[in-house]
């Protein structure tokens, strides 16, 4: 079977339920073989595939279960637009909410995170609703966007996607890598800006006085390390975007990244001036024993968060090793 035929069949079957793909693949192979002459040339193959038409329309002929709100003719275009619009609107509304929170009179990391998730969820729901409504209306009135697009740009054989390459390891989602790069830059800039402005990350109120658990001196000293964390996140997600799949070099880079960030984070946890004195006094209002207070604020809490950081790093390293091993296993099969 020529590569063009394999690419065409792949483009058709990838749009169908997985349990139906093998049977439809065999049917298509047989149908195309019947349409070709003996010892066909590449041009013969191109002519036959061109006459069969766009793989999207061919897939709809094999689809057993109809789609209701959006018709099969519009569904692929609808999904494409949805994937494009929803992340953009969600990101824009999340950024608007965050900047509104940053420049408010009282800002906290909890408020910022709330604005991020609130804005993103609201934006995603709004975008999904209006895109779905637009396509449903267009479908109801018979305006076939997909056919219009095909008339504007006729389908040709060179628009077939390449065959998936399984020899390069487990695939990494490129959108997730892009999101990771964006979040690395965003949160790094946010934390540094909050420290420079003297804003509190977490706040407690005691006698109408706002108390931050972290001392300003420790936060100022942490700025280079925050920049390091941001750079590590940016580089690591950039490597994921570049390679697109889990490889041995990427796995090694991920292991080094986790070792570096968890080591730095645990070092910061052991800074003696990490906690603000007013916060310690506030805690002491609930605990009478000074030794217990010291044990809780500098002993057990440090050990707990150190364990959490180490566990998170080990899980991430374990996942990367598993994905790399699974990809190498596919090579040897």
The confidence score (pLDDT) of residue 227 equals: 93
Greater confidence (332 vs 57) lies with 57
Residue in 4, 313, 19, 314 with CA at minimum distance from that of residue 158: 4
Whether residue 175 is predicted with pLDDT greater than 60 in this model: the reply is yes
Q: Is the pLDDT of residue 225 over 90?
A: yes
17: pLDDT strictly greater than 70:
yes
* pLDDT value, residue 176: 82
State both tokens at 292: 């217990």
Lowest mean pLDDT among 14-23, 36-45, 92-101: 92-101
69-118 pLDDT tens trace: 666 556 667 777 887 788 788 777 777 776 666 656 555 556 666 777 78
Query: What percent of the chain lies above the pLDDT cut of 70?
Result: 73
| Of the listed ranges 59-73, 228-242, 274-288, the one predicted with least confidence | 59-73
Q: What is the pTM of this model?
A: 0.54
pLDDT band at 167 (very low <50, low <70, confident <90, very high): very low
H or E element in which residue 302 lies: helix 301-332
Confidence of residue 318 (pLDDT cuts 50, 70, 90): very high
pLDDT score for 148: 47
Averaged confidence pLDDT in the chain? 78
């Amino acid at each position: 079977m020529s590569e063009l035929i394999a690419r065409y069949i792949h483009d058709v079957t990838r749009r169908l339920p997985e349990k139906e793909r093998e049977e439809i693949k065999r049917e298509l192979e047989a149908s195309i073989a019947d349409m070709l002459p003996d010892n066909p040339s590449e041009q013969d193959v191109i002519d036959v595939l061109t006459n069969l038409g766009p793989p999207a329309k061919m897939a709809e002929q094999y689809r057993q279960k109809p789609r209701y709100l959006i018709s099969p003719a519009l569904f692929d275009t609808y999904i494409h637009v949805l994937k494009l619009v929803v992340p953009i609107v969600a990101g824009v509304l999340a950024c608007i909410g965050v900047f509104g929170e940053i420049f408010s009179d009282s800002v906290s990391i909890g408020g910022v995170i709330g604005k991020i998730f609130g804005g993103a969820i609201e934006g995603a729901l709004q975008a999904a609703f209006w895109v779905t409504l637009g396509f449903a209306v267009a479908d109801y009135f018979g305006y076939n966007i997909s056919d219009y697009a095909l008339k504007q740009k006729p389908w040709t054989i060179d628009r077939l996607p390449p065959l998936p390459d399984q020899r390069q390891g487990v695939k990494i989602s490129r959108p997730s890598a892009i999101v990771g790069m964006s979040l690395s830059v965003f949160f790094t800039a946010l934390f540094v800006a909050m420290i420079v402005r003297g804003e509190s990350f977490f706040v407690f109120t005691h006698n109408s006085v706002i108390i931050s658990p972290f001392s300003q001196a420790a936060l100022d000293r942490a700025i280079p390390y925050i920049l390091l964390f941001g750079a590590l996140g940016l580089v690591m997600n950039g490597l994921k975007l570049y390679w697109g799949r889990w490889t041995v070099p990427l796995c090694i880079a991920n292991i080094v990244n986790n070792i570096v960030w968890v080591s730095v984070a645990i070092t910061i946890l052991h800074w003696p001036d990490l906690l603000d004195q007013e916060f310690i006094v506030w805690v002491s209002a609930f605990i009478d024993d000074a030794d217990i207070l010291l044990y809780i604020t500098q002993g057990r809490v440090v050990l707990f968060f150190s364990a959490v950081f180490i566990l998170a790093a080990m899980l991430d390293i374990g996942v990367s090793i598993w994905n790399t091993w699974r990809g190498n296993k596919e090579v040897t099969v």
